[in-house]
Amino acid sequence: MLLEYLDFQRATLLIKAEGLSQAQLAQTLPPSTLTLAGLLKHAAVNEHSWLFARFGGNAEREPWAGVDWDADEDWEFHSAVTDDPEYLRQLYLLECARSRGVVATADLDDLAVEANNDGKHWSLRWILLHLIEKTARHVGHADLLRESIDGATGE
């Protein structure tokens, strides 16, 4: 059920960006600087970071591995506005597929390889709930952005 809820949110985020040009994906709704492009790339890095790297213990892959996060902690938001729309969609789909692969080989009570700042390890159950919450929140942002671009609403 957790995976179904997460997949629903993932699909809805993709729907919010469907059919839009690079310029439209880069539009903001002032005073916020959020863009649909940035949300797609941010959601992709969340999938990668939480499931592939932290939980699975895998080394970061490009495009994430080469990022100087200390120099720009919001790199994914800033860089996304110049990315091709299809690249952003495929990047997100790829990271979601990797996440599904990691989850398929684990149990909900399995612990992440990486520990948090308190030295505790997140369970897969906690990570999935966290991703559902994060993705759903970003879908809400995406809904407002999409409506401001072309009036489209709904899932």
Please give the pLDDT value at position 120: 93
Which residue shows structure tokens 């993709």? 14
Average of pLDDT values for 51-80?
A: 94
Residue 89: CB atoms within 10 A of its CB come to 18
Residues 100-151: pLDDT tens digits?
999 999 999 999 999 988 999 999 999 999 999 999 999 999 999 999 999 9
> pTM higher than 0.85, yes or no?
yes
Q: Strands, DSSP E only, in the chain? A: 111-115, 121-123
Q: Is the pLDDT of residue 96 over 90?
A: yes
**Nearest Cα residue to 99 out of 1, 23, 3, 25:** 3
- Sort 22 into a burial class: Cβ within 10 Å, 0-12 / 13-18 / 19+: middle
- Sort 62 into a burial class: Cβ within 10 Å, 0-12 / 13-18 / 19+: exposed
Name, in order, each residue with C-beta under 8 angstroms of 145's C-beta and a sequence gap of 6 or more: 16, 27, 28, 29, 34, 35, 36, 39
CA distance linking residue 155 with residue 100, whole number of Å: 22
**Nearest Cα residue to 89 out of 5, 18, 137, 35:** 18
Q: Which CATH superfamily is domain 2-150 in?
A: dinb family like domain (1.20.120.450)
- Sort 147 into a burial class: Cβ within 10 Å, 0-12 / 13-18 / 19+: middle
Q: What is the CA radius of gyration of the chain?
A: 16
